[in-house]
Amino acid sequence: MSTGPLMPKATAVWLVENTSLTFEQIADFCHLHPLEVKGIADGEVAAGIKGLDPTVSGQLTREEIERAQREPSYRLKVAPPKVKLPEVKRKKGPRYTPVSRRQDRPNAILWLLRNHPELKDAQIMRLVGTTKTTIEQIRNRTHWNTANLSPMDPVTLGLCSQIDLDFEVARAAKDRPQVQPEAGATLLPTEVTTAKEEAREPFGGDFAQPKRKKEEELDVESVFAKLKQLKRDDHDDGE
């Protein structure tokens, strides 16, 4: 996908005044609406803007313009740059902190030490652009301005972005060893704790059943004994 010109409206003004390209071709190249290009041609849009020749800046070639003029359906393409700039590699090291923000770094370090103790010193150095010595002094309360320090969020201070902070915190959490829960007694399942008392089987299981049967047999024998005694008393009274 080709990128548009550096100054779209100024380029569109020049193309309208110096070429016979259609409004659609100019709009496509300059990333404008065809009605906006028509307004430029009518003098209703971009009044006072001086046209910019895209061939001078190397964004278009004369051959490309001539081909587009011959073929109304052709779409202009940005000319490839003649000079390739080397890719700038980001140097590893502490983040650069503006001079106006450097006095806030101790407060940001104190905030990080209190709110995110899992962060390593190297991560704090990357976030706020400090040194390991300063971090140790603030942690051990030997910093020369310890009495006046107050924890402040480095994102609020503009020392780092929220994305960078979240990334470092997530990395620190990932590197921390996972604590395994101690093995031991576990809670009873819900079915057991919510069951009715009569439905719950007492400890001993089958050993309680013979005792219950024996008690039932004794109850039956005592009932028969009482009946026999009542019959005997009735017989004695009859005599």
- The tens digit of pLDDT for each residue in 19-50 reads 999 999 999 999 899 999 998 888 888 777 88
Give the integer Cα–Cα distance in Å for 64 and 142: 69
* Alpha-carbon gap, residue 80 to 169, rounded angstroms: 42
Q: What pLDDT, on the 0 to 100 scale, is given for residue 136?
A: 93
Domain ranges (residues) in the chain: 8-70, 99-175
pLDDT, residue 199, reads 47
In angstroms, the CA 231 to CA 235 distance is: 6
Task: Report the alpha-carbon distance of residue 145 to residue 138 in Å, rounded.
Answer: 9
> What is the residue type of 81?
P
User: What global pTM score does this model have?
Assistant: 0.38
> Mean pLDDT, the chain, as a whole number?
78
pLDDT value of position 137: 93
**155 C-beta neighbours (distance < 10 Å), count:** 17
Task: Give yes or no for residue 182 having a pLDDT over 60.
Answer: no
**Cα–Cα distance, 209 to 203 (Å, whole number):** 11
What per-residue confidence (pLDDT) applies to 47?
76
Q: What band does 51 get if pLDDT is binned at 50, 70 and 90?
A: confident
pLDDT at position 87 is 60
* Higher pLDDT among residues 50 and 177, named by residue: 50
Distances (CA, A) of 172 to 114, 128, 166: 15, 16, 10
pLDDT value, residue 24: 93
Q: Residue 142: pLDDT above 60?
A: yes
